[in-house]
């Protein structure tokens, strides 16, 4: 187990230390030739002055770093036993698509399954929670079009829209990226082989890590994370090279994600069905006939 990797995970588990701080710390330690042991012995003043941490974050680290160091070691050992892994914001393999989409991406991502999908041509289909049946039918149809075009669907598993689209790749034996709002074990079971929602189990008996990728910003053993739903959706949007929107409530989360995608220069297609759908044309989206 690399001490550098263990340190970056311990930092990510500390309140107030995000992706940018982790990268800054890793870069600074490399320049100074400072080991993880030496870094963990630094006082609050050095952390704020030399590494740019806020005083609150520096205090949280100095008070709790022994506990988070132990937790990081436990997590890394358990991930290795199940063939899962993680990437931190300091790693070259951290998805660049996230950094281009999100001004404050998660400091650590937990991965289980087919990591090659992070290099695939990806898309997502989004709908607000109040989407009517017609919008969900359109979401399923658009998901099928993307899958048949050889694209990899990015989605979640615990909203009607996400579930409606997540079963489409299963019908065609195609891969998916599923972003969780909880840890691996809460979604996939102790053996990490259970499909995460009931409808999917009708199409495939067990989760297949050779085909699909599961990704989460939540530690593997955690069942709850504050703002987990919004964080999940940001990850879905950030990992998708193209975004299809079938229903967007004005001012809602899907609305925000679509605007962020357009600002990042990504293609956004909007179904000409939902509230204020025509306004998206002026923002640069492509309209899809219902």
* For range 190-207, the mean pLDDT: 89
* For range 11-26, the mean pLDDT: 87
Per-residue model confidence as pLDDT tens digits over 268-280: 999 988 777 778 9
* For range 257-274, the mean pLDDT: 93
pLDDT exceeds 70 at position 1: no
pLDDT exceeds 80 at position 225: no
Closest Cα to residue 233, out of 265, 249, 202, 257?
Answer: 257
* Phi, psi torsion values for 220, nearest 5 degrees: -55, -35
Per-residue tokens: 65: 């770093």
pTM of the model: 0.88
Per-residue model confidence as pLDDT tens digits over 76-89: 888 888 889 888 88
Given CATH 1.20.120.450, say whether it is the number of domain 115-288. no
Per-residue model confidence as pLDDT tens digits over 122-159: 999 999 988 999 999 999 999 999 999 999 999 999 89
Alpha helix stretches (DSSP H) within 13-132:
19-32, 36-40, 44-51, 55-81, 96-101
Higher-confidence residue: 103 or 45?
45
Contact 74, 19 (CB under 8 A): no
Considering the chain, what is the average pLDDT of its residues?
Answer: 91
Q: Cα–Cα distance between 286 and 37 in angstroms, integer?
A: 53
pLDDT value of position 224: 67
User: Domain map of the chain by residue range?
Assistant: 3-81, 115-288
Integer angstrom CA distances of residue 247 from 63, 177, 262, 288: 46, 21, 16, 12
Per-residue model confidence as pLDDT tens digits over 37-74: 999 999 999 999 999 999 999 999 999 999 999 999 99
């Amino acid at each position: 187990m690399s001490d550098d990797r263990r340190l970056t995970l311990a930092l990510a588990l500390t309140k107030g230390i995000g992706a940018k701080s982790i990268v800054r710390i890793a870069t600074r330690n490399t320049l100074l030739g400072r080991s993880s042991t030496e870094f963990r012995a630094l006082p609050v003043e050095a952390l704020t002055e030399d590494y740019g941490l806020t005083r609150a974050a520096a205090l949280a680290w100095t008070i709790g770093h022994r506990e988070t160091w132990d937790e990081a070691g436990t997590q890394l050992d358990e991930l290795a036993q199940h063939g899962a892994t993680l990437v931190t914001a300091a790693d070259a393999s951290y998805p660049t698509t996230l950094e281009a989409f999100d001004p404050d991406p998660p400091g650590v991502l937990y991965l289980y399954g087919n990591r090659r999908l992070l290099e695939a041509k990806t898309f997502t289909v989004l709908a607000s929670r109040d989407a009517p049946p017609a919008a969900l039918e359109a979401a399923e149809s658009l998901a099928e079009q993307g899958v048949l075009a050889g694209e990899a669907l990015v989605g979640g598993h615990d909203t009607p829209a996400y579930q409606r689209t997540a079963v489409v790749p299963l019908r065609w034996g195609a891969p998916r990226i599923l972003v969780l709002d909880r840890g691996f074990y809460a979604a996939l079971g102790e053996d990490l082989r259970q499909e995460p929602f009931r409808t999917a189990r009708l199409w495939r008996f067990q989760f297949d890590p050779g085909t699909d990728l599961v990704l989460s910003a939540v530690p593997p053993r955690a069942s709850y994370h504050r703002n987990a739903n919004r964080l999940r959706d940001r990850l879905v949007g950030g990992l998708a090279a193209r975004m299809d929107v079938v229903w967007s409530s004005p001012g809602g989360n899907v609305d925000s994600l679509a605007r962020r995608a357009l600002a990042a220069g990504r293609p956004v297609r909007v179904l000409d069905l939902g509230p204020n759908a025509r306004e998206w044309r002026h923002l640069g989206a492509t309209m899809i006939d219902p």
